Structure 1
Amino acid sequence: MLKYTVLVLLIGIPKLLLQAQMSYEAIFVSVTSEENSKPFDLSNLRLIGRERILNGTFEILEDLDDEHFQISVEIYTNPARDGNYKLLPMSVPRQGVCTFFKKYGFYFRDCIKNGINTDLFLNTTSCLFPKGHYYLKNVTINVQNWPKIMQRGLCRHIAFFYKNNVPMGSYNLTSSIEDRAPNFNLRPL
């Protein structure tokens, strides 16, 4: 009986932890770029409604590959929401855009899906983000793959792009992280 109980616990607890709903949720606050930033033009993206849903079109101005294009990311937090952002001790060092997407793409894959809310197709066998115009429709932040514990408040990710080691520009994504509203399932007596 003890062996059966241990087996159930070893199988059941990890499964429950993986299926557990996160204790927080996140919404977009802003998506901006430095003036004349490349390789993206995000000027036609908008945040709609209270839910701050991302909609619009964007353009990839050049074919992006690992050989010529690199990205690095700095992460800042502002729990007081007073504009006083502090750099977190975690960041993403400069690396090829494809390498970055392979390592960290799972944060985006649940938010942006080809054929559902974008027409950007990412080929996983050969690395290339093709030049062109693309749309985003009703994109929200899915935190299911995020760390279990996140500091509440504003979180700012600043991505810096480089072409052949020359800076091209930066893009800023700010989100608001809040406790998830309790969901009480009240049943009639």
Structure 2
Amino acid sequence: MDDENFSGSGEAFNDAEGNGEYKQLPFYMPKQPICKMLRTYWSYANASVKYGENTDYPVHTLPCPIPKGTYYIKDVEINTDGWPLVMPRGFLKGVVSLYDKNEMVGTLAALIHITDKHS
């Protein structure tokens, strides 16, 4: 995947009550070339997704174009140390859309339950 043909965008939704009624949040990633998007937003996942531990994708180098292949990300425990201090509580859903020459070809959705940290 290269920046000339592939792009991505992202949206965030919150369900504070856990009843399935998600409301769109003002956090979003505007549609942009795929490699630029990875370089710009990778810092949020960098502490949690590690090459050789829970992925075989070379996240330590973030190559562009993205090498053809099948990759996995599994068993990730999210480290939120670098995230904003103020986050909406409840269920946060992030949806990333992937485009090939402006045609949507896939989506990735992640669901996170955000609670207060207890010491």
Report the TM-score when normalising by structure 1.
0.58
1:89 is displaced (CA, Å) by 1.6
Q: Which residue matches 1:143?
A: 80
Is 1:128 the equivalent of 2:65?
yes
**Unmatched segments (≥5 aa) in structure 2:** none
Q: Which residue matches 1:28?
A: none
Q: Per-residue CA shift, 1:8-40, capped at 9, x if unaligned?
A: xxxxxxxxxxxxxxxxxxxxxxxxxxxxxxxxx
Q: Which residue matches 1:165?
A: 102
Query: Alignment RMSD, CA only?
Result: 1.5
1:132 is displaced (CA, Å) by 1.7
The 3-state SS of whatever aligns with 1:179 is coil
Change (3 A) 1:77 1:127: same
The 3-state SS of whatever aligns with 2:57 is coil
Identity %: 35
Change (3 A) 1:169 1:119: closer
The 3-state SS of whatever aligns with 2:40 is helix
For 1:170 and 1:118, the matched residues in 2 are separated by 19
The 3-state SS of whatever aligns with 1:151 is coil
User: What is the number of equivalent residue pairs in this alignment?
Assistant: 118
Q: Which residue matches 2:2?
A: 65
Dislocated runs of 4+, deviation >2 Å: 133-138
Structure whose residues are more often helix by fraction: 1
